[in-house]
Amino acid sequence: MKVRDIVSELDGVLLTGEDLLDVDIKAACGADLMSDVMAFVKENVVLLTGLVNPQSIRTADLMDIRVVVYVRGKAVPKDMIAEAERNGMAIMTTKYSMFLACGRLYEAGIRDGGTRESR
Amino acid sequence: MQLRYEVSGADLSLAGKASTEVKRALGRLGVNPGAIKRAAVSMYEAEMNMVIHGGGGIAIAELSPDRIVVTMEDTGPGIPDLELAMQEGYSTAPEWIRELGFGAGMGLPNIKRNADDLRIESVVGKGTKVTIIIDFNGFGGAQV
């Protein structure tokens, strides 16, 4: 699924990253705990999170996650958008809750595979 | 090459910047992506620990052709029970840290999972020194 399809499935608002709209995304990770993102994400995923702070951008950047969706209609401050832009990432907001946003992407064909199993 | 950072314990908006810069440096040097990710995750968790528990400190990254050695030193309260601190899920972080997306007791276990070597020297009341070594060919570039 392309980033542009994620925007459309989530009725999202893209804040930066127009040049990534045609990037193909196969898996997703929904988490508010950044340590879990670092512990469980294996390969390029779209990150869905309700955590709106610079650490969410930095965690994604460190894990080579290029697309972040902020759920529950949260407002994203300008300096975060600027940091994401500098990092070459796409970020968007959606009015949907974490549960519904994940559910909509699952229904649209996004599956697991980007995260490891817990032990 | 040596990179040195003063990590603020007061300005949380800066937490993670040093790790981000080290990641960029490793990328410019052409280090394999798996090793970069392991170094980035390990250093970021240690940096957050230093901000959360140590009140900030000094981070030094020594880069050589085959490995990176990161030392993070703070003058915080120290770790009374290291074995407990290494347990996944054990945390002494205050509630407000959880709002940052950290503080769930995953930091040190995450470092251990990613580093080729992790050494922790801690004296209660004096501070903690964490040394992380990532061999660029250590895990064959694959994160576990």
Query: In the prediction, which pLDDT does A111 show?
Result: 81
| B contact test, residue of A55, A116, A117 with most B CBs within 10 A | A55
Q: Count of alpha carbons within 13 Å of A22, Cβ hemisphere only?
A: 1
In angstroms, the CA B63 to CA B44 distance is 16
Q: Give the rounded percent of residues in chain A with a pLDDT score beyond 70.
A: 95
Interface of A with B (CB under 8 A): 32-36, 38-39, 42, 49, 51, 53-56, 58-59, 61-64, 79
In angstroms, the CA A113 to CA B72 distance is 34
For chain B positions 64-83, those within 8 Å of chain A (CB to CB) are none
Given B44, B45, B104, which is nearest A33 (Cβ)?
B104
- Packing angle of the helix pair A54-62, B17-28 (nearest 10 deg): 30
More confident residue, B86 or B97: B86
For B2-135, CATH number out of 3.40.50.150, 1.10.1740.10, 3.90.1300.10, 3.30.565.10 equals 3.30.565.10
Predicted confidence (pLDDT) per residue in B13-35, tens digit: 899 999 999 999 999 999 999 99
Task: Measure CA B4 to chain center.
Answer: 14
Q: Provide the H-helix boundaries in A1-119.
A: 3-9, 34-40, 54-62, 78-86, 98-107
ipTM of the prediction greater than 0.85, yes or no = no
Chain A touched by B104 (CB under 8 Å): yes
Inter-CA distances, B115 with B28, B75, B110, B139, Å: 21, 23, 9, 9
Contact A40, A64 (CB under 8 A): no
Given A35, A49, A64, which is nearest B37 (Cβ)?
A64
pLDDT over threshold 90, residue A115: no
Average pLDDT over residues A46-61: 95
CB atoms within 10 A of CB B4: 10
State the distance between the two ends of chain A, measured CA to CA, in whole angstroms.
29
Cα dihedral angle (A52, B77, B69, B4), rounded to 10 degrees? 70
Query: In the prediction, which pLDDT does A23 show?
Result: 95
CATH class given for the domain over A3-107? alpha beta
Query: In the prediction, which pLDDT does A119 show?
Result: 55
Contact A62, B23 (CB under 8 A): yes
In angstroms, the CA B34 to CA B13 distance is 27
Chain A touched by B94 (CB under 8 Å): no
* Domain assignments of chain B as residue spans, ordered by start: 2-135
